Structure 1
Amino acid sequence: MNASPQIARTIAEVRGLIERLRAERAGGESGNEVGFVPTMGYLHEGHASLLRRARRENGITALSIFVNPIQFGPNEDLERYPRSEEADLELAAREGVDVVFLPSAQEMYPAQRRTTVAVTGVTERLCGASRPGHFDGVATVVSKLFNIVKPDKAYFGAKDAQQVAVLQKMVSDLNMDVRIVPCPIVREADGLALSSRNVYLSEEQRREALVLSRSLREASARIESEAEVTPEQIVAGVTGSIQASPLAQIDYVELLTFPELQPLDPKRDLSDLRDSGGSVILALAVKFGSTRLIDNAILNLKEAPLHV
């Protein structure tokens, strides 16, 4: 077991810890760069994979656990979002995390908030269309966390590829001195993408949810193997596969450019993008009961799928 991480619950504490660790490790063999993994807790192997990469690539590993209220809509699952601080800290210790930032909502938003970070152009579709204001909440809290922790690199899972695209655009537009590092989706052995919300699924819903990764694999194989196939055909195929599950309620199935998240001509085959080496994302959101799951496949059309 690695040493327990140092825990900070206030902004002043975490800034002091990071500053001290940077000073202590300056000039050391592993350096004093900070790799940061922002999370909402209830950590699983997907988060652990981000922490391991952050630890490999930096001298200091920082983790934040904060269920951010401003990214939840009025009818979403803020109050019942799963939380497990003790288990989260055990995982952090196993993965060799140096600092865990565990702020309260009052610490992060001590007064009436009058500043919001909004990224346009990549937030109007997919989850941005289904969850109005969600990415404003994400961009605002992540910008605050970056200003507090001042990391050199920040690690995010590609399961929420739209979030990655939003944050990359935010960092670029605002000249933030941090690099966003997207990391591959981590899946269960049967293909289900890991998510803190998977705990909500009944046994039957859990079985039915496998249609998501299966339909993405089938569509990716079709895109790779068919000389002429259109976005309309791909979306229709995935939609049909998911609709065959009696428990599935589709929010969206979309095929877009990546990372721009712009629509493709639905009836024009993908050969032009294939010739240019352009990337696309096949993204979906589906509800099983009250549990909304997202998944995606990102493909460079000249290469194998990046995340399936």
Structure 2
Amino acid sequence: MKPAPFEYHAPRDLRTALDVLAETGPDGKVLAGGQSLIPMLNMRLAAPAHLVDIGRLAELATVETSPFGVRVGALARHAQVFRSEVAADVQPLVRQALALVAHPAVRNRGTVVGSLVHADPAAELPAVLALLGGSVRLAARDGEREVEAAAFFVGPMESSLRAGELAVSAFFPALGERCGTAFAEVARRHGDYALAGVCALVGLDEDLRVSAARVACIGVSPVPVVVEVSEFCGHRPPATADWASAARAVQDAVEPEADIHATAAYRRHLTGVLAGRALREAAARGEGG
């Protein structure tokens, strides 16, 4: 199939791009990596009257790190972020998630911010942003705003991005000391969308006892589900923490739907198994520093 007719725009600077988006309003759609948008256009699941290609905006192809976290620009490709050793040192969960995203050809073109805006409930990066309490910076002709992850994902394939806005970057906060992360998922084939997945964060105190534990789940709800499980593990060494009860709490918190690939009951069971696995792995990484 071929896409419906549209007018193509290729701005060469951010200001021009924002002007075009302001003028086209809800009829405009941004093209960055195109790994999700192009198939949707070809299947006519999306039919914008205007396509705004930001591929020439080199100032958005950035990966900036600081002691506070990693800020990823709108044109930073999955592969570029994955290869950044500095970014992985500051926030390892991003690299752990990117290792599970699709295949090399997709990662070479797809963008981190584009994946967030696409807001697929089965995608890894929205869950990472939600678990870490990150944010997305949105720019428009009349100014910018920073939207926290909890408010950014509002439904399946739906974010709080407004007509005329461009997501220019995403911020992934850094980890604290003695904090470990892990991502576990099950897919029919490596690189496919997960039947269910869980990313976990476990923090340890100075005595190497669990001080914080939470997970975010994918593939089992319209938006990433963040579940706090510190009450089951807190103030204990990881070896004696009640990871089984924490996993059951995660299992009880999700409401998956059945499809041709898996029943709802199987997805719920799988979420619990993956939660226990990811929490233990994250705790072990926290103990290892």
TM-score (ref. length: structure 2): 0.34
Which structure has greater strand proportion? 2
